[in-house]
Structure 1
Amino acid sequence: MEMDAMGAARRWLADQGVRRVRDGWVSAEDPEVLLTSNEVALSRAGDVFAEDLDAADQVRLAFGLLDLLDEYWVTCEIRFANEGAQGPLPADVLWGGYRRRLEADRNIEAVTYSLWVDWFEDHTTSARAFAEVLGNDIDRVVAQRSEILLRRARRVLECSGPVCWTVKEPTYRTAAQLPALHPAVFRGLRASFHDIYGDLEPAAALSLLDRLDLPTDTQHLAELRHVLTAGHRNHYRSPRAWEDAVRSCS
């Protein structure tokens, strides 16, 4: 499906006079100027949502453009469209697009960055976004244990620091039933402490941390346990806490 979407995006760009060359992209408007993928995304991605297509096909085309360009700005235009006058976008296509790319066996940094800094840091969208990309089907992930589902779960857990603790704790606890997800749950807890918008409840987070089967030399494990035991919720609320933990644990 991603290959079909990518092909559609390539054809759409060609219709706009933009084509791929060996070292980048060129536009029919100025074929002597080499464009980067990011420049193409900045100049063209928003135009997808002005196309004479239904909203679902616009979203599919935008995701194809994301696959083709691998640029974070495409995800920004998707979110702008969702929040704009013609939004919200069809939820099944929007979140299905995110889920499929989170399951893909390739680099998807633009997708996880989008989740982290846009959907998860905004508390008006974080609960719905987290539920759609993992929370709603964490039981299926744990039951089926397929590598595709585990890949998605790991990626979401690791960037879920800003999600409200009450929203993500049940998913964290279910994920902790599966040892294969323990490192990702740990990284989610660590991000929940360190992210500027990170959120956790120290006692509950410590209880969860103690359930994880991790190597004793796991980097930052001792320090995280130290700050949680001391009752600290977030690095930015207690800026000296981590430094004190590093000294205590060294």
Structure 2
Amino acid sequence: METQAGEEARRWLAERGVVEVGHGWVDAAEPGRPCTAEEIAHSWAGEVFTDGCLAAAEQVRLAFGLLDLLDSYWVTCEIRFADRGAQGPLPVDVLWNGYRRRLEAERDVEVLTYSLWADWFEDHDTAATAFAEVLGNDIDHILAKRSHALLRRAGRVLTCSGPVPWSVKQPTYEAAAQLPALHGPLYKGLLAGYHDVHGHLEPTAAFTLLAQLQLPADTPHLAELRSVLAAGRRNHHRSPHARDDAVRAPMD
């Protein structure tokens, strides 16, 4: 089902001669050539932020509408370019509310979580603010209310939070550990903190946290993660043979 923001983005594109036809798109500039949604995103997402008829907040909302409509990672790139560029920053409340609302939706948000992971969380200049805006500031409210939408957002953010600096995410991780419904996503965040190239964790604290999680005995890589954390390993890429040693070592 198309969102209201997506409908507005569709109208904005149509005013510029870009319309969806069947399973593709047609741009009036090249009427004889069908275009993919990805091509439309590359051609038009950046133009949103040059539309002088729109205030900055309206530009951000329209960009998120294009994201809803086209489901293209490139749209999130243009949002970040605009925020970090010469005309930025974008209005904070509109920017992060756009992420939060979509992280709570039932529809697939892989593009959005990849954007958080690869662009906002891997950048030390933006990781703390981004993590706080999409989860850290709200974790107590989420634990108190426990609605499906809020838990969906929390789970999605925890899963992709591996690159966030440990000092930033530790309080949120510890709070999330209080709720068994978030133990699976929290485990994935810990696992990514160890395995991702830009992953970040403190092994002693992570080991203590891991011991609190209620996880199935057959959870993939659980024994190996316990072993490397107990050995004080911070990241697979700094100790590439630690996991192999953990697999070979007898477990108590």
Aligned ranges 1:86-97 → 2 under 5 Å: 86-97=87-98
Give structure 1 stretches of 5+ with no counterpart. none
Change (3 A) 1:106 1:249: farther
Query: TM-score w.r.t. structure 2 length?
Result: 0.97
Q: Which amino acid aligns with 1:102?
A: L
Answer whether contact 1:37 1:69 (CA < 8 A) is retained. Answer: yes
Match of 1:16 in 2: 16
Change (3 A) 1:8 1:231: same
Q: CA deviation digits over 1:52-103, x for unaligned, max 9?
A: 2110000000000000000000000000000112110000000000000000
Q: CA deviation at 1:249?
A: 6.2
Give the whole-Å Cα distance in 2 for the aligned partners of 1:247 and 1:20: 55
Aligned residues: 249
Match of 1:5 in 2: 5
Give the whole-Å Cα distance in 1 for the aligned partners of 2:250 and 2:215: 17
Question: Aligned-residue CA RMSD in angstroms?
Answer: 1.1
Aligned ranges 1:1-250 → 2 under 5 Å: 3-52=3-52, 53-248=54-249
| Identical positions, percent | 66
Answer whether contact 1:222 1:249 (CA < 8 A) is retained. Answer: no
Give the whole-Å Cα distance in 2 for the aligned partners of 1:79 and 1:233: 29
Q: CA deviation at 1:248?
A: 2.9
Q: CA deviation at 1:26?
A: 0.9
Give the whole-Å Cα distance in 1 for the aligned partners of 2:222 and 2:93: 38
> What SS does the aligned partner of 1:34 have?
strand
Q: Which amino acid aligns with 1:5?
A: A
Q: CA deviation at 1:246?
A: 2.5
Answer whether contact 1:223 1:249 (CA < 8 A) is retained. Answer: no
Give the whole-Å Cα distance in 1 for the aligned partners of 2:77 and 2:16: 20
> What SS does the aligned partner of 1:210 have?
helix
Give structure 2 stretches of 5+ with no counterpart. none
Query: TM-score w.r.t. structure 1 length?
Result: 0.97
Q: Which amino acid aligns with 2:182?
A: L
Point out 4+ residue stretches in structure 1 off by more than 2 angstroms: 246-250
Give the whole-Å Cα distance in 1 for the aligned partners of 2:150 and 2:84: 28
Q: CA deviation at 1:34?
A: 1.3
Q: CA deviation at 1:108?
A: 0.8
Q: CA deviation digits over 1:118-155, x for unaligned, max 9?
A: 00000000000000000001011111111100000000
